[in-house]
Amino acid sequence: MDKTAAQAELLLNRLVKRCRHLKKWARRSKTDAYRLYDRDIPEIPLVLDLYDDAVSGALYRRSTELRSGELRSGELRSGENDHAWLNAMRTAASRALEIPEENIFLKERRRMRRRQETGVQYHRMSMRSFYRDVKEGDMSFRVNLSDYLDTGLFLDARRKRALVRDSAAGKRVLNLYAYTCSLSVAAAKGGAAHVDSVDLSNTYLEWGKVNFALNKLGAASFIRSDVMPFLAEAERKTLRWDLIFLDPPGFSNSKKMTHSFDIRRDHRTLIQRCLSLLSPGGILYFSSNARGFRIESADWPGLAVTEITKELLDEDFRNKRIPACYAFTI
């Protein structure tokens, strides 16, 4: 047995074991979208997520030479060996999960240079439009497995959505960097009085409207804006929210923005502006996936700052790294 065949067999066995472990939990949790495999075997640096009857996967590379995109014949500079290896892993996943190979989408992720223009994960790479509507309890979310690096639903934020839902009853909610508005859906499902979703992308706000329609929800606004100018205008108008969710990128220099954003440089200003918009007794949830970045409660005198990251770990992310999350209470 050659090396690729041996690794394919290892992946197949691992996926069978993971499915056996997670299926009962998924049934109890009433979800059909969850993480199956996360680089469990060092020689197989894949992440594989199940979305109903399909899989979205990513190959993680150390090289900064390769461009991001779906792994298809002729797209990788390293040649046919990569394509053959990915095909073998796709076949193994298909056998283990009893899912057709054409329903398994494998893409490539690489670490971005920090000052490189960001947003690659949001660029459209295909026009196949392979959609699924997946369940999370009594909520539904539309995902696109074929056309973007990310699917439109972050599975590691499942408990974050539950937290927002449980906190939202009767409140005015602001979701900043809203992406496809899954947190906004959770807040509306939790009985929020009104939900405002802010994002710079019309594509993702329209996707958010689809998610609201899937869940038969109203009482929401979808606002296309750069977050910093939006907050400045909200301060000028003395607007207030009871619950704010803030999940900024680590770095962004999108051409649509008036200024670049660096979380290490700008997080304090961003958080302070959000805090100034909270109603008395309000809560700001701040989340960040930036490596090595932390919030220290001692830097925020007079505020209750609590890290809640560990509380947000769900069964399919046990012993894995998820975005850090903090609650600010005034």
Stronger pLDDT, 18 or 73, i.e. the higher one:
18
Q: Which of 295, 233, 306 is nearest to 267 (CA)?
A: 295
136 in any annotated domain: no
164 in any annotated domain: yes
51 and 183 in a single domain? The answer is: no
324 and 204 in a single domain? The answer is: yes
| Strand runs labelled E in 211-288 | 220-224, 241-246, 251-252, 261-262, 278-288
Stronger pLDDT, 78 or 74, i.e. the higher one:
78
45 and 187 in a single domain? The answer is: no
Stronger pLDDT, 253 or 124, i.e. the higher one:
124
What is the per-residue pLDDT across 76-122, written as a single tens digit (0 to 9) for each?
A: 334 446 789 999 999 999 999 999 999 999 998 876 554 444 455 55
113 and 191 in a single domain? The answer is: no
77 in any annotated domain: yes
The pLDDT value recorded for residue 286 is 97
Judged by average pLDDT, the poorest of 15-19, 40-44, 53-57, 127-131 is 127-131
182 and 109 in a single domain? The answer is: no
What is the per-residue pLDDT across 205-217, written as a single tens digit (0 to 9) for each?
A: 999 999 999 999 9
Structure pTM? 0.89
Model confidence band, residue 68 (pLDDT cutoffs 50, 70, 90): very low
Three-class DSSP category at 329:
strand
CATH of the domain at 186: 3.40.50.150
Stronger pLDDT, 45 or 256, i.e. the higher one:
45
What is the per-residue pLDDT across 237-279, written as a single tens digit (0 to 9) for each?
A: 999 999 999 999 876 665 555 667 788 888 999 999 999 999 9
Domain count, the chain: 2
Of 118, 142, 171, the residue that ends a domain is 118
177 and 318 in a single domain? The answer is: yes
Does pLDDT of 321 surpass 90? yes
215 and 75 in a single domain? The answer is: no
CATH of the domain at 98: 3.30.750.80
131 in any annotated domain: no
What is the per-residue pLDDT across 289-301, written as a single tens digit (0 to 9) for each?
A: 988 889 999 999 9
288 in any annotated domain: yes
185 and 110 in a single domain? The answer is: no
Q: Which of 93, 94, 90 is nearest to 72 (CA)?
A: 90
Q: What value does the mean pLDDT take over residues 6-22?
A: 97
207 and 272 in a single domain? The answer is: yes
Q: Which of 312, 310, 327 is nearest to 157 (CA)?
A: 312
Stronger pLDDT, 127 or 34, i.e. the higher one:
34
Does pLDDT of 65 surpass 60? no
* Both tokens assigned to 310: 């560990």
167 and 269 in a single domain? The answer is: yes
Contact indicator for 250, 288 with CB cutoff of 8 Å: yes
Of 102, 118, 134, the residue that ends a domain is 118
The pLDDT value recorded for residue 82 is 78
The pLDDT value recorded for residue 128 is 86
270 in any annotated domain: yes
314 and 178 in a single domain? The answer is: yes
What DSSP character marks residue 169?
T
**Is the CA virtual torsion 317, 247, 145, 207 positive or negative?**
positive
247 in any annotated domain: yes
Stronger pLDDT, 260 or 24, i.e. the higher one:
24
188 and 94 in a single domain? The answer is: no
Interior/surface letters 63-89, b for 16+ CB within 10 angstroms, e for the rest: eeebebebbeeeebeeeeebbebbbbb
Find the domain containing 15 and state its range. Answer: 3-118
What DSSP character marks residue 72?
-
Pairwise CA distance, residues 292 & 321, whole Å:
12
Q: What percent of the chain is predicted at pLDDT more than 90?
A: 77
The pLDDT value recorded for residue 292 is 83
Of 64, 99, 118, the residue that ends a domain is 118
127 in any annotated domain: no
Helix (H) or strand (E) holding 183: helix 182-189
